[in-house]
Amino acid sequence: MRGLPLGAQAYIGSVVVLSGVLIALGPLDDIDFIAVVSIAILFFIAEEVRTPLGKPAAAISPSLSVALASVVLTGPIGAALVHVLAALSNRHRPMVKAVFNVAQGALSAYAAGTVYLYLGGEIGVPDIRSFPWILVPFAAAAVTYALVNGVLVILVIWLTTGVRPFSLNTIRWQPLIALELASLGYGMLGLFAAVLWAIVGPFSVVLLLLPLLIAKWTLDQCLEQQRAYDATVATLCQAVETKDYYTRGHCMRVSQGSVLLAKEIGMRADRVEAIKMAGMLHDVGKLGVPTRVLQKPGALTEEEYAAIQLHPMRGYDIVREIGFLHEALAGIMHHHERMDGRGYPMGLAGKEIPEFARAIAVADAFDSMTSTRSYRNARSIDEAVAELRRSAGSHFDTAMVDAFIKAIRREGWELPDIPQVPDIGIEVTQQDHDDPSTPIRVAGEPGR
Amino acid sequence: MNRSSAPRWALQRIDTGTLLLAAAALVVVAVSLSATAMAGLRDPATAFGFGVLVAVGELTRMTLPGNREVAPISSAGALGYTFVLTVAGVPAVHSATQVISVCALATLLGALPHLVVNRGPHLDAVARRLLVVALVAVVYRPFLEWARPLEHHVWVAIAAMAVLATLVWLADCVIAAGLRADALRARFGVTVRDELRAQAPIGVAVATSGVLLALSASVMGLIALVVFSAPLLVTHVAFRRYAEIRLTYAQTVRALSRVTEVGGYVENGHSRRVSQLAVMVGRDLGLREAELLDLEYAALMHDIGQLSLPRPIPGGATVLAAREEQVRIAELGASVIQQTGVLDRVAEMVRRQSDPAAGRAEDGPPPLGSRIIKAANAFDDLVGGSRDRDRAAAVIERLRLDSRCEYDPRVIEALERVHDRPPRRV
């Protein structure tokens, strides 16, 4: 409590006192205490089963359905008591947070219960004859619960951190609506759990929660696997690069750059995930280019240049068996195409080039230019941006270049460390196929 | 090339166990259908409601890791239809044969769209799903009629549901494990344990949802089917996501293990052949499914350390390289894999892959996985992609002579066993 702003202290205090007073004042005689205790236990279990849905810290929790079931079964005071009892075993949060959380939950439940009664809802186990009219007070109770809960929480965040949780124009409606619908769904389950109470008592909620517990456990495993997967792909890509001192970390940075760009042009979340992989894997085919070619100091012969031109196809060959990568595959195969059709391997032009490939090409070239090479020092971000702009339209997609520049101006760009190359006995690459400012020299041709 | 070869091969894939199972299911369904046709359909609305759920479940079936086909929504719907006591207060009096008939027809209906695009269900999986329903229905429906006059018949019925669901789940796992042991030539005891572990969460979800559907239909009627499928639906989505990511993970490791081949460090197909051989040997030696997955990854990536070498070893055959070089490649590879932070057991297998079976000085013997990879790698380095059985036999003989100190004699014996028999479906 100490260390919090004065306003926050007063606010938290009054919420706690208010909920205490309401419970103490309310008629306690006709509450079914056995029901309250068993619901409290279920509420506690449900609270543990918070189900993370997607990235934004949106966690919907089936405890809402239990809270609303308690409103129907035991009325406003009983529902408030359920929150208090369930919190007795809470061990996760610091004291102040826990106490406030209980108090705001109790208040929300009390408000929901009052609305439910006011609109003609009856306390106790509903039977089939209460349908469908019981839905009106119940839905009102569900909405009240969510509203009171939301307002109380937003206020406490605002008062303790000074951050306004959201303003109307930055709020993302789509996930919010999805979240609210999911909550309403859970709320409805609460009503039906209450109905089922008629035949099997608290066992009904156990039956409802078990599948959700298993879902939660499975989703945890998904997250764990996803993390393992990301780490494994990143490691393997870096392993491919270890041989070349100058390009280490290239795949990670291209992946990050592609993701920045993808987000900037408003790609859907699953496509962003795919382009992250594509950026990471875009150069795996480079291993197929003989080291001798990469390390050759002078101009390349036609054959040697052909070997370099083959690497996107090699990369495609390696990763094409990975099922989910459909769109990413096109990005890997075509990341060296040019808008004017003079790129490789297929010589596609303009919008024929897949969107992923146009995006990756920009991030790829940018990282190459801002990294140190054996034949030149790293260019500054401004120089690289100027070079991108100069090649926009002929080499790169102008829209992509603009979006990329906008994104890195806002988010910043982490430059790679200058590589420490041991002086003796190490042969290093002499040309970089990704570098648009220093095209590869091919014998008998004026640069590409 | 010759068009007749494909169907013949497809027929060979179906082993005797699966055929028996399918025949049993077919007989049960045929008998039930004719019995239902003679007795007439009782309470068509309920039959239709649950039938739709079963059909939808069949339509949304999925494949869990380990190539296990499941249809949780369908199974829960079928269990619910079997267990249902009353529908909105009116006693449900449908017979066991009606349960079987409705579920069979609904399953067929749900499988139709898949069949049209030539993605029919696994014969054994669908047969098991139907037989499970039949088994439960034949015991439970008569029992329910007997128990109905009792005072607390709801609790008696719930107890019966719990016991039956558990028993039938066990039976299903044992049958599935038997088929798997036969198809993969694994040990039965090991596959039973694998199966129980893999099927436990989905089994609990299906059983509770089945009971939930049956009870809620008693109070609320058929609208309950819509509402109370929701928790199961969440579970279904979670399982599907898990299966997807596991598959992608495996595909990615398999694909990226080829970078050593593209880089010219090892022969084409080497990593994959070594991993297939290693997994077969590991299975023969009774490794669990999780251990086999680690072994597969380690075998796929066993040469990844070569990426750090400035120049490829001629021919890529590590068995021909100097001992110090082998140790160095193993160490380099293990340190790469270690960086993932999640594949420590795999890294350890890769690190010790060139150690002699008895172990080096103070380290003790290497993990079984390392010994298997060592043998499989040597075998493939010496035999390569060649199909010549004499050459393979000679190589095994040579490895056996070395097995006093270099190779684990148990592993070499297993290698000989798996090499002697024809390949079967994986």
Q: Would you call A195 an interface residue with chain B, using a CB distance cutoff of 8 Å?
A: yes
Q: Would you call B319 an interface residue with chain A, using a CB distance cutoff of 8 Å?
A: no
pLDDT-based confidence at B318, cuts 50/70/90? low
The 10s digit of each residue's pLDDT in B130-181 is: 999 999 999 999 999 898 888 788 889 999 999 999 999 999 999 999 999 9
**Closest partner CB to A319 (pick from B212, B235, B255):** B255
CA A350/CA B309 separation, integer angstroms: 40
On whether residue B425 sits in a domain, the answer given is no
Please give the mean pLDDT across all residues of chain B.
86
On whether residue B252 sits in a domain, the answer given is no
**Closest partner CB to A222 (pick from B88, B228, B238):** B238
CA B80/CA B106 separation, integer angstroms: 14
**Closest partner CB to B251 (pick from A195, A212, A322):** A322
CB B100 within 8 A of CB B32: yes
Judge: A222–B219 Cβ closer than 8 Å, yes or no: no
Residue of A nearest to B212 (CA): A207
- Residue B395 maps to which CATH number? 1.10.3210.10
Examine the domain organization and report whether B316 and B206 are in the same domain. Answer: no
Q: Would you state the pLDDT for residue B3?
A: 40
Q: Would you call A225 an interface residue with chain B, using a CB distance cutoff of 8 Å?
A: yes
pLDDT-based confidence at B285, cuts 50/70/90? very high
The 10s digit of each residue's pLDDT in A46-72 is: 776 655 444 333 445 667 778 888 888
Q: Would you call A290 an interface residue with chain B, using a CB distance cutoff of 8 Å?
A: yes
Q: Would you call B62 an interface residue with chain A, using a CB distance cutoff of 8 Å?
A: no
Give A244 or B120, the one with higher predicted confidence: B120
Q: Would you state the pLDDT for residue B1?
A: 38
Q: Would you call A181 an interface residue with chain B, using a CB distance cutoff of 8 Å?
A: no
Q: Which residues, listed in sequence order, are joined to residue B297 by a DSSP beta bridge?
A: none
Q: Would you state the pLDDT for residue B36?
A: 93
Q: Would you call A170 an interface residue with chain B, using a CB distance cutoff of 8 Å?
A: no
The 10s digit of each residue's pLDDT in B68-108 is: 999 999 999 999 999 999 888 888 889 999 999 999 999 99
Q: Would you call A161 an interface residue with chain B, using a CB distance cutoff of 8 Å?
A: no
Instruction: Provide the sign of the torsion angle of the four alpha carbons A190, A195, A201, A203, taken in this order.
Output: negative
Residue of B nearest to A425 (CA): B310
Q: Would you state the pLDDT for residue A178?
A: 67
Domains by residue range for chain A, with CATH: 6-222 (1.10.1760), 242-411 (1.10.3210.10)
pLDDT-based confidence at A447, cuts 50/70/90? very low
Here the tokens at position B420 are 């002697």
How far from the centroid of its chain's Cα atoms is residue A304's Cα? 43
According to the 3-state scheme, what is the secondary structure of chain B?
CCCCHHHHHHHHHCCHHHHHHHHHHHHHHHHHHHHHHHHCCCCHHHHHHHHHHHHHHHHCCEEECCCEEECHHHHHHHHHHHHCCEECCEECCCCHHHHHHHHHHHHHHHHHHHHHCCCCCCHHHHHHHHHHHHHHHHHHHHHHHHHCCCCCHHHHHHHHHHHHHHHHHHHHHHHHHHHHHHHHCCCHHHHHHHHHHHHHHHHHHHHHHHHHHHHHHHHHCCHHHHHHCHHHHHHHHHHHHHHHHHHHHHHHHHHHCCHHHHCCCCCCCHHHHHHHHHHHHHHHCCCCHHHHHHHHHHHHCCCHHHHHCCCCCHHHCHHHCCHHHHHHHHHHHHHHHHCCCCCHHHHHHHHCCCCCCCCECCCECCCHHHHHHHHHHHHHHHHCCCCCHHHHHHHHHHHHHHHHCCCCHHHHHHHHHHHHCCCCCC
pLDDT-based confidence at A422, cuts 50/70/90? low
3-class DSSP assignment, residue B365: coil
Q: Would you state the pLDDT for residue A425?
A: 54
Q: Would you call B174 an interface residue with chain A, using a CB distance cutoff of 8 Å?
A: no
Examine the domain organization and report whether B285 and B238 are in the same domain. Answer: no
Q: Would you call A222 an interface residue with chain B, using a CB distance cutoff of 8 Å?
A: yes
Tally of structural domains, chain B: 2
CB B243 within 8 A of CB B65: yes
pLDDT-based confidence at B315, cuts 50/70/90? low
Which residue bears the tokens 């103490």? A24
CA A16/CA A103 separation, integer angstroms: 5
Examine the domain organization and report whether B37 and B166 are in the same domain. Answer: yes
Contacts of B329 in chain A (CB under 8 A): none
Average pLDDT over residues B312-316: 63
Residue of A nearest to B347 (CA): A232
**Among B218, B222, B375, CA closest to B302:** B375
Judge: B256–A236 Cβ closer than 8 Å, yes or no: yes
Find the angle CA(B86)-CA(B92)-CA(B93) to the nearest 5 degrees. Answer: 150
Give B284 or A201, the one with higher predicted confidence: B284
- Which of these three, B221, B246, B271, is where a domain ends? B246
Q: Would you call B120 an interface residue with chain A, using a CB distance cutoff of 8 Å?
A: no
Contacts of A222 in chain B (CB under 8 A): 238, 241-242, 245
Contacts of A235 in chain B (CB under 8 A): 336-337, 339-340
Judge: B208–A217 Cβ closer than 8 Å, yes or no: no
Helix axes A381-391, A355-369, angle to 10 degrees: 140
Q: What percent of chain A has pLDDT over 90?
A: 14
Contacts of B263 in chain A (CB under 8 A): 287-288
- Which of these three, B246, B271, B286, is where a domain ends? B246
Examine the domain organization and report whether B103 and B190 are in the same domain. Answer: yes
pLDDT-based confidence at A93, cuts 50/70/90? low
For chain B, the straight-line distance linking the first and the last C-alpha, in angstroms and rounded, comes to 24
Give A415 or A366, the one with higher predicted confidence: A366
Give A252 or A162, the one with higher predicted confidence: A252
pLDDT-based confidence at B291, cuts 50/70/90? very high
Average pLDDT over residues A399-407: 92
Q: Would you call B337 an interface residue with chain A, using a CB distance cutoff of 8 Å?
A: yes
Contacts of A319 in chain B (CB under 8 A): 252, 255-256
ipTM comes to 0.85
Examine the domain organization and report whether B404 and B268 are in the same domain. Answer: yes
Examine the domain organization and report whether B203 and B299 are in the same domain. Answer: no
- Residue B66 maps to which CATH number? 1.10.1760
Which phi-psi region, left, alpha or beta, contains residue B269 (left: φ > 0; alpha: ψ -120 to 50)?
Answer: left
Q: Tell me the nearest-neighbour CA distance from A181 into chain B, angstroms.
A: 13
Question: Most confidently modeled of A35-39, A138-142, A182-186, B321-325?
Answer: A138-142
Q: Would you state the pLDDT for residue A88?
A: 72
Q: Assess whether pLDDT exceeds 70 at residue A427.
A: no
- Which of these three, B193, B220, B246, is where a domain ends? B246
Judge: A222–B230 Cβ closer than 8 Å, yes or no: no
Average pLDDT over residues B282-310: 89
CB B399 within 8 A of CB B411: no
Please give the mean pLDDT across all residues of chain A.
81
**Among B212, B207, B206, CA closest to B224:** B212
Residue of A nearest to B162 (CA): A207
Average pLDDT over residues A92-100: 76
Most A-contacting residue of B84, B248, B338 (CB-CB within 10 A), to test interface: B248
CA B182/CA B372 separation, integer angstroms: 22
Examine the domain organization and report whether B127 and B184 are in the same domain. Answer: yes
Q: Assess whether pLDDT exceeds 80 at residue B272.
A: yes
Contacts of B336 in chain A (CB under 8 A): 235-236, 239, 242
Judge: B259–A287 Cβ closer than 8 Å, yes or no: yes
Contacts of A249 in chain B (CB under 8 A): none
Examine the domain organization and report whether B316 and B225 are in the same domain. Answer: no
Q: Assess whether pLDDT exceeds 70 at residue B183.
A: yes
Q: Assess whether pLDDT exceeds 60 at residue B426.
A: no
Contacts of B204 in chain A (CB under 8 A): 210, 214
Q: Tell me the nearest-neighbour CA distance from A165 into chain B, angstroms.
A: 29
Examine the domain organization and report whether B224 and B297 are in the same domain. Answer: no
Q: Would you state the pLDDT for residue B6?
A: 41
Domain span at residue B413?
257-420
Residue of B nearest to A292 (CA): B311
Q: Assess whether pLDDT exceeds 50 at residue B4.
A: no
pTM of the shown model: 0.83
Q: Would you call A220 an interface residue with chain B, using a CB distance cutoff of 8 Å?
A: no
**Closest partner CB to B215 (pick from A185, A196, A318):** A196
Most B-contacting residue of A45, A188, A213, A225 (CB-CB within 10 A), to test interface: A225
Examine the domain organization and report whether B145 and B284 are in the same domain. Answer: no
The 10s digit of each residue's pLDDT in A114-134 is: 999 898 888 887 776 776 777
Average pLDDT over residues B269-285: 92
On whether residue B426 sits in a domain, the answer given is no
Residue of A nearest to B308 (CA): A243
Examine the domain organization and report whether B225 and B300 are in the same domain. Answer: no
Q: Assess whether pLDDT exceeds 60 at residue A424.
A: no
**Closest partner CB to A243 (pick from B232, B251, B308):** B308
The 10s digit of each residue's pLDDT in B19-71 is: 999 999 999 999 999 999 999 999 999 999 999 999 999 999 999 998 899 99
Which residue bears the tokens 């970078």? B259
Residue of A nearest to B305 (CA): A239
Contacts of A221 in chain B (CB under 8 A): 242
Average pLDDT over residues B370-375: 92
**Closest partner CB to A226 (pick from B202, B221, B245):** B245
Per DSSP, helices labelled H in B339-423 are: 344-351, 368-383, 389-401, 409-420
Examine the domain organization and report whether B285 and B218 are in the same domain. Answer: no
